[in-house]
């Protein structure tokens, strides 16, 4: 029996880099997955996340890049995510230590990316 081809284990182009605005998130769809492309202010490279905040599943592509932190901010409740997808700030958290102690449980899904010949590619492996 032949092994099944798994589309989610391969690299795909997601966008020409020239079509991306480094100052705002860009929604794309790859293999039926809603993704968001964004560029952290502290990085020369774009990042690709699943387009959903782990809090209420709001689209991160409707958010913005925070001017102060350079992180991706969800438009719904203002949660912020760094370039690895780890939550760094929750405005409603009365105690900031709650965020720092639970960061691993408060992250969004970051996908591997690479840029080649003016194309941004991602691996949709989850």
Is 44 exposed, middle or buried, given 0-12, 13-18 or 19+ CB atoms closer than 10 A? exposed
Return the pLDDT at 2: 78
Sequence length of the chain is: 126
pTM over 0.85: yes
Output the domain CATH number for residue 92.
Answer: 2.102.10.10
Asked if residue 79 is part of any domain, the answer here is yes
Return the pLDDT at 126: 58
Which of the four pLDDT bands, split at 50, 70 and 90, describes residue 4?
confident
Question: Tokens 């391969």 appear where?
Answer: 10
Number of domains comprising the chain: 1
Asked if residue 68 is part of any domain, the answer here is yes
Question: Tokens 């502290």 appear where?
Answer: 42
Asked if residue 81 is part of any domain, the answer here is yes
Is 94 exposed, middle or buried, given 0-12, 13-18 or 19+ CB atoms closer than 10 A? exposed
Domain that holds residue 108: 14-114
pLDDT per residue as tens digits for the range 75-111: 999 999 999 999 999 998 877 777 777 777 789 999 9
Q: Regarding predicted confidence, which is higher, 104 or 16?
A: 16
Q: What is the DSSP code string of the chain?
A: -PPPP-GGGSEEEEEEGGG--TTS-EEEEETTEEEEEE--TT-SS-EEEESS-TTT---GGGSEE-TTT--EE-TTT--EE-TTS-EEE-TT-SSHHHHHHTGGGS---EEPEEEETTEEEEE---
Q: Is the pLDDT confidence value at 123 over 90? A: no
Tokens of 33: 């997955």
Asked if residue 4 is part of any domain, the answer here is no
Asked if residue 85 is part of any domain, the answer here is yes
**Mean pLDDT over the full length of the chain:** 90
């Amino acid at each position: 029996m032949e092994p099944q081809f798994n589309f989610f284990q391969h690299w795909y182009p997601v966008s020409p880099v020239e079509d991306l605005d480094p100052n705002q998130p860009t929604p794309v769809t790859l293999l039926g997955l809603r993704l968001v492309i964004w560029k952290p202010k502290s990085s020369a490279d774009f990042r690709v996340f699943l387009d959903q905040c782990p809090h209420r599943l709001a689209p991160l592509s409707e958010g913005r890049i925070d001017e102060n932190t350079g992180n991706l901010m969800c438009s719904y409740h203002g949660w912020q995510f760094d370039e690895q997808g780890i939550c760094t700030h929750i405005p409603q958290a009365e105690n900031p230590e709650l965020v720092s102690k639970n960061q691993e449980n408060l992250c969004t899904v970051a996908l591997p990316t690479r840029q080649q010949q003016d194309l941004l590619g991602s691996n949709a492996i989850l």
